Amino acid sequence: MLRWTIFLIIFGILDFYAFQAFRTLSKNNWLLAIYWIITLLVVGNFVYSYYGFNRSDGFSHANAYAVGFFIAILIPKMVLLLVMFGEDIFRVPQAVYRYFTEGNSAQGHYFPPRREFISKIALGLAAIPFASIIYGIYKGRYNFKVLKYTLHFEDLPKAFDGYKITQISDIHSGSFDNVEKVHYAVNLINEQESDVILFTGDMVNNKAEEMQPYMGIFGNLRAKDGLFSILGNHDYGDYVSWESNEAKHKNLEDLKAIQKQLGFDLLLNESRYLEKDGDRIALVGVENWGVGGFKKAGDLKKASKHIGENDFKILMSHDPSHWENEVIQDAYHYHLTLSGHTHGMQFGIEIPGWIKWSPSKWRYKYWAGIYKEMGQYINVNRGFGYLAFPGRVGIWPEITVIELKKGTIVS
Protein backbone atom coordinates (compact mmCIF):
# COMPACT_ATOMS: atom_id res chain seq x y z
CA MET A 1 0.00 0.00 0.00
CA LEU A 2 2.82 2.38 0.88
CA ARG A 3 4.51 2.01 -2.51
CA TRP A 4 1.27 2.80 -4.32
CA THR A 5 0.79 5.87 -2.14
CA ILE A 6 4.31 7.00 -3.07
CA PHE A 7 3.58 6.19 -6.72
CA LEU A 8 0.40 8.28 -6.71
CA ILE A 9 2.12 11.21 -4.99
CA ILE A 10 4.99 11.22 -7.49
CA PHE A 11 2.70 10.84 -10.48
CA GLY A 12 0.41 13.51 -9.04
CA ILE A 13 3.33 15.97 -8.93
CA LEU A 14 4.23 15.08 -12.52
CA ASP A 15 0.69 15.65 -13.69
CA PHE A 16 0.35 18.89 -11.75
CA TYR A 17 3.17 20.42 -13.77
CA ALA A 18 2.40 18.64 -17.05
CA PHE A 19 -1.22 19.78 -16.99
CA GLN A 20 -0.16 23.37 -16.36
CA ALA A 21 1.84 23.32 -19.60
CA PHE A 22 -1.24 22.21 -21.54
CA ARG A 23 -3.58 24.59 -19.75
CA THR A 24 -1.29 27.57 -20.38
CA LEU A 25 -1.51 27.00 -24.14
CA SER A 26 -5.13 25.95 -24.45
CA LYS A 27 -8.32 26.75 -22.59
CA ASN A 28 -10.30 24.28 -24.71
CA ASN A 29 -12.10 22.08 -22.20
CA TRP A 30 -12.33 19.20 -24.68
CA LEU A 31 -8.56 19.08 -25.20
CA LEU A 32 -7.97 19.27 -21.46
CA ALA A 33 -10.50 16.49 -20.92
CA ILE A 34 -8.74 14.33 -23.52
CA TYR A 35 -5.48 14.85 -21.64
CA TRP A 36 -7.01 13.45 -18.45
CA ILE A 37 -8.84 10.63 -20.22
CA ILE A 38 -5.62 9.39 -21.86
CA THR A 39 -3.70 9.70 -18.59
CA LEU A 40 -6.33 7.81 -16.59
CA LEU A 41 -6.65 5.06 -19.22
CA VAL A 42 -2.89 4.48 -19.47
CA VAL A 43 -2.24 4.62 -15.73
CA GLY A 44 -5.33 2.54 -14.98
CA ASN A 45 -4.27 -0.11 -17.49
CA PHE A 46 -0.78 -0.17 -15.99
CA VAL A 47 -2.14 -0.67 -12.46
CA TYR A 48 -4.60 -3.32 -13.69
CA SER A 49 -1.77 -5.13 -15.50
CA TYR A 50 0.38 -5.02 -12.38
CA TYR A 51 -2.29 -6.56 -10.16
CA GLY A 52 -3.38 -8.98 -12.85
CA PHE A 53 0.14 -10.30 -13.46
CA ASN A 54 0.28 -14.08 -13.17
CA ARG A 55 3.76 -15.34 -12.38
CA SER A 56 2.83 -18.79 -13.72
CA ASP A 57 2.01 -17.38 -17.15
CA GLY A 58 4.90 -14.94 -17.32
CA PHE A 59 5.01 -11.51 -18.94
CA SER A 60 2.27 -11.34 -21.60
CA HIS A 61 1.87 -9.06 -24.61
CA ALA A 62 -0.82 -7.17 -22.67
CA ASN A 63 1.61 -6.63 -19.78
CA ALA A 64 4.27 -5.41 -22.20
CA TYR A 65 1.99 -2.88 -23.88
CA ALA A 66 0.78 -1.64 -20.50
CA VAL A 67 4.41 -0.95 -19.56
CA GLY A 68 5.20 0.52 -22.97
CA PHE A 69 2.39 3.06 -23.03
CA PHE A 70 2.97 3.97 -19.40
CA ILE A 71 6.59 4.79 -20.23
CA ALA A 72 5.39 6.70 -23.30
CA ILE A 73 3.54 9.19 -21.08
CA LEU A 74 5.83 9.02 -18.04
CA ILE A 75 9.05 10.19 -19.72
CA PRO A 76 7.47 13.22 -21.48
CA LYS A 77 5.81 14.26 -18.22
CA MET A 78 9.18 14.10 -16.49
CA VAL A 79 10.53 16.46 -19.15
CA LEU A 80 7.59 18.81 -18.57
CA LEU A 81 8.22 18.69 -14.83
CA LEU A 82 11.87 19.69 -15.26
CA VAL A 83 11.09 22.67 -17.49
CA MET A 84 8.02 23.92 -15.58
CA PHE A 85 9.64 23.43 -12.19
CA GLY A 86 12.66 25.28 -13.53
CA GLU A 87 10.41 28.24 -14.23
CA ASP A 88 9.04 28.03 -10.67
CA ILE A 89 12.56 28.45 -9.32
CA PHE A 90 12.26 32.02 -10.57
CA ARG A 91 8.52 32.51 -9.93
CA VAL A 92 8.59 31.51 -6.24
CA PRO A 93 11.18 34.14 -5.18
CA GLN A 94 9.19 36.76 -7.10
CA ALA A 95 6.01 35.72 -5.26
CA VAL A 96 7.76 35.89 -1.88
CA TYR A 97 9.20 39.30 -2.73
CA ARG A 98 5.79 40.67 -3.76
CA TYR A 99 4.17 39.24 -0.63
CA PHE A 100 6.53 41.14 1.68
CA THR A 101 6.82 44.34 -0.35
CA GLU A 102 3.28 44.78 -1.71
CA GLY A 103 1.19 42.88 0.83
CA ASN A 104 -2.54 43.54 0.47
CA SER A 105 -1.88 46.17 -2.18
CA ALA A 106 -0.66 43.50 -4.64
CA GLN A 107 -2.70 43.34 -7.82
CA GLY A 108 -4.04 39.81 -8.36
CA HIS A 109 -2.02 36.77 -7.29
CA TYR A 110 1.49 37.08 -5.95
CA PHE A 111 2.73 34.53 -8.51
CA PRO A 112 3.50 35.98 -11.95
CA PRO A 113 1.44 34.18 -14.64
CA ARG A 114 3.12 31.32 -16.44
CA ARG A 115 4.79 32.39 -19.63
CA GLU A 116 3.34 30.86 -22.75
CA PHE A 117 6.66 30.46 -24.50
CA ILE A 118 8.01 28.39 -21.57
CA SER A 119 5.07 26.02 -21.94
CA LYS A 120 5.70 25.79 -25.69
CA ILE A 121 9.36 24.94 -25.08
CA ALA A 122 8.37 22.33 -22.48
CA LEU A 123 5.83 20.68 -24.75
CA GLY A 124 8.23 20.76 -27.69
CA LEU A 125 10.94 19.05 -25.66
CA ALA A 126 8.47 16.50 -24.25
CA ALA A 127 7.27 15.66 -27.76
CA ILE A 128 10.73 14.29 -28.65
CA PRO A 129 10.79 11.33 -26.21
CA PHE A 130 7.05 10.76 -26.72
CA ALA A 131 7.43 10.43 -30.49
CA SER A 132 10.61 8.35 -30.08
CA ILE A 133 8.96 5.89 -27.70
CA ILE A 134 5.87 5.51 -29.89
CA TYR A 135 8.14 4.93 -32.90
CA GLY A 136 10.16 2.43 -30.87
CA ILE A 137 7.01 0.47 -30.07
CA TYR A 138 5.51 0.68 -33.55
CA LYS A 139 8.65 0.29 -35.69
CA GLY A 140 11.88 0.23 -33.70
CA ARG A 141 11.57 -3.26 -32.22
CA TYR A 142 11.70 -4.77 -35.71
CA ASN A 143 14.18 -2.29 -37.18
CA PHE A 144 16.84 -4.96 -37.72
CA LYS A 145 20.39 -3.79 -38.43
CA VAL A 146 23.31 -5.81 -39.77
CA LEU A 147 26.50 -4.63 -38.05
CA LYS A 148 29.75 -5.75 -39.67
CA TYR A 149 33.20 -5.90 -38.07
CA THR A 150 36.60 -7.08 -39.26
CA LEU A 151 38.97 -8.33 -36.55
CA HIS A 152 42.65 -9.08 -37.12
CA PHE A 153 44.64 -11.78 -35.33
CA GLU A 154 48.29 -12.60 -35.94
CA ASP A 155 47.82 -16.21 -34.79
CA LEU A 156 44.65 -16.95 -36.74
CA PRO A 157 45.10 -20.24 -38.63
CA LYS A 158 45.73 -19.45 -42.30
CA ALA A 159 42.76 -21.40 -43.63
CA PHE A 160 40.41 -19.19 -41.55
CA ASP A 161 41.61 -15.91 -43.08
CA GLY A 162 38.36 -14.26 -44.21
CA TYR A 163 36.15 -16.59 -42.15
CA LYS A 164 32.72 -15.05 -41.48
CA ILE A 165 30.68 -15.47 -38.33
CA THR A 166 27.09 -14.35 -37.88
CA GLN A 167 26.10 -13.85 -34.26
CA ILE A 168 22.55 -13.48 -33.02
CA SER A 169 21.47 -13.24 -29.40
CA ASP A 170 18.45 -12.75 -27.15
CA ILE A 171 15.68 -13.87 -29.49
CA HIS A 172 13.05 -13.76 -26.69
CA SER A 173 10.49 -15.41 -28.95
CA GLY A 174 7.69 -15.01 -26.41
CA SER A 175 7.72 -11.26 -26.99
CA PHE A 176 7.17 -11.38 -30.77
CA ASP A 177 3.80 -10.49 -32.26
CA ASN A 178 4.66 -10.15 -35.96
CA VAL A 179 5.56 -13.34 -37.80
CA GLU A 180 6.35 -11.55 -41.06
CA LYS A 181 8.95 -9.29 -39.44
CA VAL A 182 10.65 -12.28 -37.81
CA HIS A 183 10.66 -14.09 -41.15
CA TYR A 184 12.28 -11.06 -42.76
CA ALA A 185 15.01 -10.99 -40.10
CA VAL A 186 15.81 -14.69 -40.50
CA ASN A 187 16.13 -14.18 -44.25
CA LEU A 188 18.45 -11.26 -43.51
CA ILE A 189 20.64 -13.58 -41.44
CA ASN A 190 20.86 -16.10 -44.28
CA GLU A 191 21.66 -13.35 -46.79
CA GLN A 192 24.95 -12.74 -44.97
CA GLU A 193 26.14 -16.16 -46.20
CA SER A 194 28.44 -16.56 -43.22
CA ASP A 195 30.44 -19.72 -42.61
CA VAL A 196 28.86 -20.32 -39.21
CA ILE A 197 25.94 -18.97 -37.17
CA LEU A 198 26.40 -18.60 -33.42
CA PHE A 199 23.47 -17.93 -31.08
CA THR A 200 24.42 -16.62 -27.64
CA GLY A 201 21.38 -17.38 -25.49
CA ASP A 202 17.88 -16.35 -24.38
CA MET A 203 15.83 -18.10 -27.03
CA VAL A 204 12.66 -17.63 -24.95
CA ASN A 205 11.42 -15.39 -22.17
CA ASN A 206 10.57 -18.28 -19.87
CA LYS A 207 8.89 -21.27 -21.51
CA ALA A 208 9.94 -23.56 -24.33
CA GLU A 209 6.45 -23.38 -25.86
CA GLU A 210 7.06 -19.73 -26.78
CA MET A 211 9.25 -20.93 -29.65
CA GLN A 212 6.61 -23.16 -31.25
CA PRO A 213 5.02 -20.51 -33.55
CA TYR A 214 8.48 -19.69 -34.97
CA MET A 215 9.92 -23.16 -35.46
CA GLY A 216 9.31 -23.11 -39.20
CA ILE A 217 10.99 -19.72 -39.52
CA PHE A 218 14.14 -20.30 -37.46
CA GLY A 219 14.37 -23.80 -38.88
CA ASN A 220 15.37 -22.14 -42.16
CA LEU A 221 18.67 -20.83 -40.76
CA ARG A 222 21.59 -22.10 -42.80
CA ALA A 223 25.39 -21.88 -42.55
CA LYS A 224 28.06 -24.00 -44.22
CA ASP A 225 29.76 -25.02 -40.97
CA GLY A 226 26.58 -25.27 -38.96
CA LEU A 227 24.69 -23.56 -36.17
CA PHE A 228 25.86 -23.49 -32.55
CA SER A 229 24.15 -22.15 -29.43
CA ILE A 230 24.33 -21.68 -25.67
CA LEU A 231 21.79 -20.97 -22.94
CA GLY A 232 20.99 -17.54 -21.51
CA ASN A 233 19.56 -16.69 -18.10
CA HIS A 234 15.96 -16.66 -19.37
CA ASP A 235 16.20 -20.12 -20.91
CA TYR A 236 16.22 -21.86 -17.52
CA GLY A 237 12.66 -20.78 -16.63
CA ASP A 238 13.76 -19.08 -13.41
CA TYR A 239 11.45 -16.06 -13.74
CA VAL A 240 8.05 -17.80 -13.61
CA SER A 241 6.35 -20.10 -11.13
CA TRP A 242 6.14 -23.83 -11.85
CA GLU A 243 3.79 -26.40 -10.41
CA SER A 244 6.80 -28.58 -9.58
CA ASN A 245 10.55 -28.88 -10.04
CA GLU A 246 9.86 -31.68 -12.48
CA ALA A 247 7.79 -29.35 -14.68
CA LYS A 248 10.57 -26.78 -14.68
CA HIS A 249 13.16 -29.42 -15.56
CA LYS A 250 10.97 -30.74 -18.37
CA ASN A 251 10.64 -27.21 -19.77
CA LEU A 252 14.44 -26.90 -19.99
CA GLU A 253 14.74 -30.31 -21.63
CA ASP A 254 12.01 -29.34 -24.11
CA LEU A 255 13.96 -26.19 -24.99
CA LYS A 256 17.12 -28.21 -25.54
CA ALA A 257 15.17 -30.52 -27.85
CA ILE A 258 13.77 -27.52 -29.74
CA GLN A 259 17.25 -26.14 -30.31
CA LYS A 260 18.30 -29.52 -31.71
CA GLN A 261 15.24 -29.60 -33.99
CA LEU A 262 16.19 -26.15 -35.30
CA GLY A 263 19.64 -27.46 -36.21
CA PHE A 264 21.61 -25.89 -33.34
CA ASP A 265 24.42 -27.76 -31.65
CA LEU A 266 23.83 -26.63 -28.06
CA LEU A 267 27.05 -26.31 -26.09
CA LEU A 268 26.54 -26.94 -22.37
CA ASN A 269 29.97 -26.18 -20.93
CA GLU A 270 31.43 -27.93 -23.95
CA SER A 271 33.68 -27.31 -26.92
CA ARG A 272 33.88 -28.16 -30.60
CA TYR A 273 36.46 -27.74 -33.32
CA LEU A 274 35.71 -25.97 -36.59
CA GLU A 275 37.98 -27.44 -39.25
CA LYS A 276 39.01 -26.10 -42.63
CA ASP A 277 41.78 -27.21 -45.03
CA GLY A 278 43.76 -28.93 -42.29
CA ASP A 279 43.49 -26.02 -39.83
CA ARG A 280 41.09 -25.70 -36.94
CA ILE A 281 39.78 -23.24 -34.38
CA ALA A 282 38.17 -24.08 -31.04
CA LEU A 283 34.58 -23.07 -30.32
CA VAL A 284 33.77 -23.03 -26.61
CA GLY A 285 30.29 -22.61 -25.14
CA VAL A 286 29.45 -22.05 -21.47
CA GLU A 287 26.12 -22.04 -19.71
CA ASN A 288 24.95 -18.75 -18.23
CA TRP A 289 27.31 -17.01 -15.82
CA GLY A 290 26.53 -13.50 -14.61
CA VAL A 291 27.07 -11.17 -11.68
CA GLY A 292 24.31 -9.35 -9.83
CA GLY A 293 22.16 -12.32 -8.87
CA PHE A 294 22.12 -14.06 -12.26
CA LYS A 295 22.62 -17.80 -12.59
CA LYS A 296 26.22 -19.01 -12.47
CA ALA A 297 25.95 -22.36 -14.24
CA GLY A 298 28.84 -21.61 -16.57
CA ASP A 299 32.03 -23.58 -16.02
CA LEU A 300 34.86 -22.27 -18.17
CA LYS A 301 37.37 -24.92 -17.07
CA LYS A 302 34.99 -27.75 -17.85
CA ALA A 303 34.04 -26.24 -21.19
CA SER A 304 37.69 -25.92 -22.25
CA LYS A 305 39.12 -29.16 -20.91
CA HIS A 306 39.31 -30.80 -24.36
CA ILE A 307 41.02 -27.92 -26.19
CA GLY A 308 44.63 -26.87 -26.23
CA GLU A 309 46.23 -23.80 -24.71
CA ASN A 310 47.60 -22.74 -28.09
CA ASP A 311 44.37 -23.24 -30.02
CA PHE A 312 42.69 -20.20 -31.53
CA LYS A 313 39.57 -19.86 -29.36
CA ILE A 314 36.11 -18.38 -29.80
CA LEU A 315 34.03 -18.35 -26.61
CA MET A 316 30.25 -18.08 -26.44
CA SER A 317 29.11 -16.71 -23.07
CA HIS A 318 25.73 -15.02 -22.70
CA ASP A 319 26.53 -12.41 -20.04
CA PRO A 320 29.43 -9.99 -20.71
CA SER A 321 30.13 -9.73 -16.98
CA HIS A 322 31.58 -13.23 -17.31
CA TRP A 323 34.23 -11.91 -19.71
CA GLU A 324 35.08 -9.07 -17.36
CA ASN A 325 35.25 -11.16 -14.19
CA GLU A 326 36.63 -14.51 -15.34
CA VAL A 327 37.53 -14.83 -18.99
CA ILE A 328 40.14 -12.15 -19.64
CA GLN A 329 42.10 -13.19 -16.53
CA ASP A 330 42.00 -16.90 -17.39
CA ALA A 331 45.24 -18.75 -18.11
CA TYR A 332 43.86 -19.58 -21.55
CA HIS A 333 43.78 -16.79 -24.11
CA TYR A 334 40.25 -16.48 -25.55
CA HIS A 335 40.75 -14.53 -28.76
CA LEU A 336 37.10 -13.62 -29.27
CA THR A 337 34.13 -13.82 -26.88
CA LEU A 338 30.57 -13.42 -28.10
CA SER A 339 27.92 -12.24 -25.62
CA GLY A 340 24.51 -10.57 -25.47
CA HIS A 341 22.18 -10.18 -22.47
CA THR A 342 22.20 -6.38 -22.03
CA HIS A 343 19.95 -5.48 -25.01
CA GLY A 344 21.65 -2.08 -24.73
CA MET A 345 18.62 -1.59 -22.45
CA GLN A 346 16.67 -1.16 -25.73
CA PHE A 347 17.11 2.57 -25.30
CA GLY A 348 19.94 4.95 -26.13
CA ILE A 349 21.60 7.18 -28.67
CA GLU A 350 24.08 5.87 -31.21
CA ILE A 351 25.67 7.93 -33.97
CA PRO A 352 28.70 6.02 -35.32
CA GLY A 353 31.87 7.97 -34.75
CA TRP A 354 30.09 10.56 -32.60
CA ILE A 355 28.18 9.16 -29.66
CA LYS A 356 27.28 5.82 -28.11
CA TRP A 357 25.21 6.06 -24.94
CA SER A 358 22.61 4.07 -23.08
CA PRO A 359 21.57 3.78 -19.43
CA SER A 360 22.91 0.24 -19.80
CA LYS A 361 26.42 1.61 -19.32
CA TRP A 362 25.56 2.35 -15.67
CA ARG A 363 25.03 -1.39 -15.15
CA TYR A 364 27.54 -2.96 -17.53
CA LYS A 365 31.05 -1.86 -18.40
CA TYR A 366 30.77 -3.73 -21.71
CA TRP A 367 27.23 -3.26 -22.94
CA ALA A 368 27.18 -3.10 -26.78
CA GLY A 369 29.61 -3.61 -29.63
CA ILE A 370 33.28 -4.53 -29.82
CA TYR A 371 35.70 -4.09 -26.91
CA LYS A 372 39.32 -5.14 -26.48
CA GLU A 373 41.17 -5.90 -23.25
CA MET A 374 44.48 -7.69 -22.72
CA GLY A 375 44.69 -8.59 -26.40
CA GLN A 376 41.26 -10.26 -26.33
CA TYR A 377 38.04 -9.12 -28.03
CA ILE A 378 34.42 -9.29 -26.98
CA ASN A 379 31.34 -8.45 -29.02
CA VAL A 380 28.22 -7.66 -26.99
CA ASN A 381 25.29 -8.14 -29.34
CA ARG A 382 22.37 -5.73 -28.76
CA GLY A 383 19.86 -8.54 -29.14
CA PHE A 384 17.52 -9.85 -31.82
CA GLY A 385 14.30 -9.49 -29.86
CA TYR A 386 13.04 -7.42 -26.96
CA LEU A 387 11.80 -7.96 -23.43
CA ALA A 388 9.32 -6.22 -21.08
CA PHE A 389 9.27 -2.87 -22.89
CA PRO A 390 7.76 -3.74 -26.31
CA GLY A 391 10.04 -1.51 -28.33
CA ARG A 392 13.50 -0.20 -29.06
CA VAL A 393 14.55 3.44 -29.14
CA GLY A 394 17.92 4.20 -30.70
CA ILE A 395 19.31 0.74 -29.86
CA TRP A 396 18.08 -1.40 -32.73
CA PRO A 397 17.80 -5.21 -32.97
CA GLU A 398 21.11 -6.54 -34.21
CA ILE A 399 22.55 -9.17 -36.50
CA THR A 400 26.34 -9.19 -36.14
CA VAL A 401 28.70 -10.30 -38.89
CA ILE A 402 32.35 -10.67 -37.87
CA GLU A 403 35.06 -11.41 -40.41
CA LEU A 404 38.29 -12.92 -39.07
CA LYS A 405 41.48 -11.75 -40.79
CA LYS A 406 45.02 -13.00 -40.32
CA GLY A 407 47.67 -10.43 -39.48
CA THR A 408 47.57 -6.94 -38.08
CA ILE A 409 45.61 -3.89 -39.21
CA VAL A 410 47.46 -2.02 -41.96
CA SER A 411 47.22 1.70 -41.25
Strands (E), 231-374: 264-266, 270-276, 279-285, 313-316, 336-339, 349-351, 355-357, 369-373
Query: H-helix or E-strand containing 7?
Result: helix 2-25
Of 185, 143, 194, 219, the C-alpha closest to 391 is: 143
Bridge partners of 289, per DSSP, are 296
pLDDT of residue 103: 60
Class of domain 144-406: alpha beta
In the prediction, which pLDDT does 209 show?
96
Q: How crowded is residue 54: how many other Cβ atoms within 10 Å of its Cβ?
A: 11
Q: What was the pLDDT predicted at 116?
A: 77
349-351 and 369-373 strand pairing: unpaired
State the pLDDT at residue 65: 93
From first to last of its 411 residues, what are the pLDDT tens digits of the chain?
A: 677 788 778 888 888 888 888 888 777 888 889 889 999 999 999 988 888 777 777 788 889 999 999 999 999 999 998 888 777 766 666 666 666 666 655 555 655 556 777 888 888 999 999 999 999 999 999 999 999 999 999 999 999 999 999 999 999 999 999 999 999 999 999 999 999 999 999 999 999 999 999 999 999 999 999 999 999 999 999 999 999 999 999 999 999 999 999 999 999 999 999 999 999 999 999 999 999 889 999 999 999 999 999 999 999 999 999 999 999 999 999 999 999 999 999 999 998 888 999 999 999 999 999 999 999 999 999 999 999 999 999 999 999 999 999 988 654
Half-sphere exposure of 46 (CA within 13 A, CB side): 20
pLDDT at 91: 65
The single-letter DSSP state of residue 393 is B
Are the CB atoms for 118 and 83 separated by under 8 Å? yes
Collapsed DSSP state (helix, strand, coil) of residue 302? helix
Question: Whole-model pTM?
Answer: 0.91
Question: What phi and psi values does residue 38 have, to the nearest 5 degrees?
Answer: -65, -45
Instruction: Indicate if the alpha-carbon torsion angle 295, 296, 300, 303 is positive or negative.
Output: negative
B/e letters for 61-90, b = 16+ CB within 10 Å, e = fewer, are eebbbbbbbbbbbbbbbebbbebbeebeee
The domains of the chain are located at 2-138, 144-406
The DSSP H or E segment spanning 149 is strand 145-153
Query: Long-range contacts for 372-376 (Cβ within 8 Å, ≥24 apart)?
Result: 373/328, 374/328, 375/333, 376/327, 376/328, 376/333, 376/334, 376/335, 376/336, 376/337
Nearest by Cα to 298 from 232, 250, 214, 375? 232
pLDDT of res. 109: 62
Q: At residue 228, what are phi and psi to the nearest 5 degrees? A: -130, 150
Beginning with the edge strand found earlier in the chain, give each strand of the sheet holding 163-168 in spatial order: 145-153, 398-406, 163-168, 196-199, 227-229, 264-266
CA nearest 19: which of 77, 73, 90? Answer: 77
Per-residue confidence (pLDDT) for residue 15, from 0 to 100: 86
Rounded-to-integer distance, Cα 113 and Cα 243, Å = 61
Q: Is 170 left (phi over 0), alpha (psi -120 to 50) or beta?
A: left
Residue 364, pLDDT score: 95
Q: What is the Cα–Cα distance from 200 to 203, expressed in whole angstroms?
A: 9
pLDDT at position 122 is: 87
The answer for residues whose C-beta is within 8 angstroms of residue 162's C-beta and 6 or more apart is: 403, 404, 405
At how many degrees (to 10) do helices 61-102 and 29-52 cross?
Answer: 130
In angstroms, rounded to a whole number, what is the distance separating the alpha carbons of residues 358 and 162? 32
For the chain, how many residues are written? 411
Nearest one of 286, 307, 306, 314 to 298, comparing CA atoms:
286
Q: Which of 205, 152, 147, 132 is nearest to 174 (CA)?
A: 205
